Structure 1
Amino acid sequence: MLKLIVLADDLTGALDTGIQFAKSSDGTLVALDCDVCWDDVSAEKEVLVIDTESRHIAPQEAYQRVKHLSEKAKNAGIPFIYKKTDSALRGHVGSELAAVLDATGEKQLHFIPAFPRTKRVTVHGIQYIDGIPVADSVFGSDPFNPVRHSSVMDVLAEETNLRTHSISCEEDSSEAEGILIYDAENDEDIQKRAGELKKKDRLHVMAGCAGFAAVLPELLDLHRGNAKNHIEHKPMLVVCGSVNPITVTQLDDAENKGFRRDRISPETLLRKEHFTSEEGKTNVKDWADWLNKGNDLILDTNTLPGCETAYDFADQDGIRREDVPVLISRSMGQLVKDLIDLGVDATMLITGGDTLMGFMKAENIRLMQPCRELVAGTVLSMVSIHGKTYNIISKSGGFGVPTLISDLKELLQ
């Protein structure tokens, strides 16, 4: 029976947090649709993670989606709600945390935004990425969701008037109403704070990323399960929809170590008819043949420095800039589906939540089963397509060391 609902604003985040519960319980599913019927969820499932796909929509619409699902959880008698937030504070953090509080009628929401294993920590209320205040990091120049503030309170204040309180590691949790933001510089800080909240029975309405989620299975008495660790040796198909410089560095490293890397032009991505043309079909068949011979392949949406970007092409072709991410994810999702239809059986690493969701929509997949965290923030999941099981590796664009892709290749051999 469901004990915990997790609400995430994108798919990679849903998976990297969902896997924290799947480590301890076989009863964890990730739903790709806000309208998923909870009655269809098996009685053995204890955790349901829902991707609200709300990062790129208007703040008020994000608020309404999260509020609706939080009310549904409360009315269903589910005792715990966890609002998953981005560890770089992208998205509508203030609106969505306010939605949870408004829906549940609780006086406090306890928020631990740190993810120390990926070098994302909170010190004196400031969010740091690898020692750099988040607004000064690569996330400050994110083309889709630039983070303008490093203070967590300031980020929340952009979209909510609720009272916020920043609490250091040395302080006990407060009785004050509103959103309580806790510092954490390491996993021990998170464990200590979560234990304190458990003793005070304050874990019913929470927020954070995978860092906070990792300590909850034991505290919420979730059942122990058996980890699914088997990975068949297959060629790797890397599908990159992320423009994050961290991911670009990982692609460069993999290319230098032997991966074939083909860049897909903005015109190809933004004109949906390309892959149905003769030229497009020839491209897809060439990629399928390459993979079916056991070779590794990177399909990259990033252009070379100095070349026309997707936004440049959109401006010239009369396409709205806000539509660019949707069009790219749709094109890449359909491309991967076309490859599978041609018999490709590869382990797929898909970077960027929008790109992964584009593929899931193309295949009409509504549920995913996270199986294993390969490294922090990088998750192996299983999906069923036409009765066959495929391995999908997902990661946020901003996660991982420069050698991540080549490291995964070695791990999978």
Structure 2
Amino acid sequence: MKRLAIIADNLIGANDAGVQFRKFGFSTQVVLDYARLLDHSAGVDVLAVNTNSRKMSAQAAYERVCQIGSTLSKLGFRRFYKKIDSTLRGNIAEEIQAMLESLSLSLAVIVPSYPAHGRIVENGYLQILQAWGDDSRPLPVCYVPSIVKPAAETPVAVLTLRDVRQGEKKLIQKITKLHAAGIHLIAVDAVADEDLRTIAIAVSNIDIPCLAVGSAGLAGNLPIAWKIADQGPANLRQGTMIVAGTLNHVTAEQIVSVLDYPNTELIAIHAAEVYEGHTTTVRQQIIARVETALAGGRIPVLVTDMLLMNRNDAGALSLSVQVQKYGQIITNLLGDITREIVKGQGLRNLVISGGGTTTSICNTLGITLIDLERELLPGIPVGKAVGNSCDGLRLITKAGGFGKRNSLRKVLELL
């Protein structure tokens, strides 16, 4: 296949999309530092680049993605995938526009849907399906065209489920007709994996040079359209730790569930003590507890106590305000603790939930590259860390809001 470049606005996204290709046999690596593309671009089928631009200003994100797109084109990449958040967070419109301009493309087909994680688009409206709870009705998020257009006057077409389910040939005809009419941005509905597969085949076979834009959902169906290879087993070794820095309620449910797994041990950082300035003491205590757990053959599950608090509790609400102000201190602490454990205990499997936590830990460990191996579960890839003294460390990463209640438990079963 032609070499593929994936451009994602954060590390979790780069992993999520990249592993979709690795599981079909393509060599896939994730570059954490976009400034070092020249060092890592040779000899790999798929290169996923973390632009780290989700929280930047719109103009800064546009300029960075433009630069990266131009560099990748000069390096010989001919297929491109713009990974976006499945709930459309970040500088979506600006980054799509940057890709189109830097690659001299005139068409983007945009498919945020990720049905495996309850993200669907119908009639152009992005919705989230609740995986559990009494209220199973879809929660509306936004109208996709309003998010992806770079200016109010820019036209964005919507192809509905009816269009998609007429098949890939009809879909190609409709996209071609819209492009001929001067439409450069086309959002496409999808509520099931079968819809994504149809769209992927259409995008892969259209005569117009096209930028595929979407979540890991669409990415997971593109290898089927381009090439299929055998998926090998993940030969993971023992010595596992789970780190959850996110406060997302989805991860909270998963932590409660995973603690029923044999030999897991909850180790909670008391956020209030950190905010009161006792970081050094907390760090020493947590490292000692993690080391003891690992030495006893247990799986430490490292979280902040805020994650498991009742959100309606007055104390939790007070701490939540502190998190907004001092959250980076906790994130840095998690990175520092993990570095000491990896260095001193020979940790082999590291499961991380939360994009900010993943980035902080990778930076602290000096990881420069992730060599993706496969996808353990939808949206939960595993890869081998490269860089510093972490060569061989297996990273299993997950967005805070991804997965079902038992996803982390299933990860441990697969390890």
Following superposition, the deviation at residue 230 of structure 1 comes to 1.2
Pair 1:388–1:118, CA change in 2 (3 A): same
Greater Cα offset, 243-252 or 56-65:
56-65
Pair 1:153–1:404, CA change in 2 (3 A): same
Q: Quick check: 1:164 aligned with 2:156?
A: yes
Looking at structure 2, the residues matched to 285 and 388 of structure 1 have their Cα atoms a distance apart, in angstroms, of 24
Runs of 4+ aligned structure 1 residues displaced above 6 Å come to 136-140
Looking at structure 1, the residues matched to 208 and 128 of structure 2 have their Cα atoms a distance apart, in angstroms, of 28
State the match for 2:34 in structure 1: 34
Following superposition, the deviation at residue 330 of structure 1 comes to 2.1
Q: 1:183 aligns with which of 179, 182, 189?
A: 189
Q: Contact 1:55–1:62 at 8 Å: present in 2 too?
A: yes
Looking at structure 1, the residues matched to 364 and 153 of structure 2 have their Cα atoms a distance apart, in angstroms, of 39
State the match for 2:296 in structure 1: 293
Amino acid at match of 1:185: V
Greater Cα offset, 74-83 or 114-123:
74-83
Q: Quick check: 1:209 aligned with 2:215?
A: yes
Any idea what the Cα deviations from partners look like across 1:307-362, whole Å, max 9, x if unmatched? 35555236xxxxxx4x6454332221111001122215252210011101111101
TM superposition score normalised by structure 2:
0.84
State the match for 2:329 in structure 1: 327
Looking at structure 2, the residues matched to 138 and 370 of structure 1 have their Cα atoms a distance apart, in angstroms, of 35
Q: 1:355 aligns with which of 346, 354, 357?
A: 357
Pair 1:77–1:410, CA change in 2 (3 A): closer
Of all paired residues, the percent bearing the same amino acid is 24
Amino acid at match of 2:399: S
Looking at structure 2, the residues matched to 70 and 409 of structure 1 have their Cα atoms a distance apart, in angstroms, of 37
Following superposition, the deviation at residue 38 of structure 1 comes to 2.6
State the match for 2:102 in structure 1: 103
State the match for 1:83 in structure 2: 82
Q: Contact 1:270–1:331 at 8 Å: present in 2 too?
A: no
Q: 1:391 aligns with which of 365, 370, 394?
A: 394
Describe the SS at the equivalent of 2:408: helix
Following superposition, the deviation at residue 18 of structure 1 comes to 0.3
Describe the SS at the equivalent of 1:299: strand
Following superposition, the deviation at residue 248 of structure 1 comes to 0.6
Q: Contact 1:85–1:113 at 8 Å: present in 2 too?
A: yes
Q: Contact 2:156–2:187 at 8 Å: present in 1 too?
A: yes
Q: Quick check: 1:93 aligned with 2:99?
A: no
Amino acid at match of 2:106: K
Following superposition, the deviation at residue 387 of structure 1 comes to 6.3
Looking at structure 2, the residues matched to 108 and 293 of structure 1 have their Cα atoms a distance apart, in angstroms, of 56
Q: 2:245 aligns with which of 223, 241, 244?
A: 241
Q: Contact 1:333–1:359 at 8 Å: present in 2 too?
A: yes
Looking at structure 1, the residues matched to 327 and 393 of structure 2 have their Cα atoms a distance apart, in angstroms, of 25
State the match for 2:166 in structure 1: none
Looking at structure 1, the residues matched to 243 and 195 of structure 2 have their Cα atoms a distance apart, in angstroms, of 36
Q: Contact 1:370–1:381 at 8 Å: present in 2 too?
A: yes
Pair 1:381–1:180, CA change in 2 (3 A): same
Structure 1, unmatched stretches of 5+, are 141-147, 315-320
Amino acid at match of 2:119: R
* Count of residue pairs brought into register by the alignment: 390
Looking at structure 1, the residues matched to 357 and 126 of structure 2 have their Cα atoms a distance apart, in angstroms, of 26
Looking at structure 1, the residues matched to 130 and 293 of structure 2 have their Cα atoms a distance apart, in angstroms, of 41
Any idea what the Cα deviations from partners look like across 1:77-109, whole Å, max 9, x if unmatched? 421221101112222212211221232232211
Q: Contact 1:2–1:48 at 8 Å: present in 2 too?
A: no
Q: Contact 1:197–1:203 at 8 Å: present in 2 too?
A: no
State the match for 2:170 in structure 1: none
Aligned pairs for 1:12-411 within 5 A: 12-43=12-43, 45-130=44-129, 149-157=141-149, 162-171=154-163, 172-173=174-175, 174-175=178-179, 176-202=182-208, 204-221=210-227, 224=229, 227-234=232-239, 236-257=240-261, 259-267=264-272, 274-275=278-279, 277-278=280-281, 280-303=283-306, 304-305=309-310, 306=313, 307-308=315-316, 311-313=320-322, 321=324, 324-384=326-386, 386=389, 388-411=391-414
Pair 1:4–1:166, CA change in 2 (3 A): same
Q: Contact 1:292–1:345 at 8 Å: present in 2 too?
A: no
Looking at structure 2, the residues matched to 280 and 198 of structure 1 have their Cα atoms a distance apart, in angstroms, of 50
Any idea what the Cα deviations from partners look like across 1:284-309, whole Å, max 9, x if unmatched? 12221212221122111251232355
Following superposition, the deviation at residue 247 of structure 1 comes to 0.7
Pair 1:410–1:104, CA change in 2 (3 A): closer
Following superposition, the deviation at residue 279 of structure 1 comes to 5.2
Amino acid at match of 1:255: L
Any idea what the Cα deviations from partners look like across 1:57-91, whole Å, max 9, x if unmatched? 22222222111111222334421221101112222
Following superposition, the deviation at residue 157 of structure 1 comes to 4.7
Q: Contact 2:115–2:217 at 8 Å: present in 1 too?
A: yes
State the match for 1:145 in structure 2: none
Pair 1:230–1:86, CA change in 2 (3 A): same
TM superposition score normalised by structure 1:
0.85
Looking at structure 1, the residues matched to 326 and 157 of structure 2 have their Cα atoms a distance apart, in angstroms, of 37
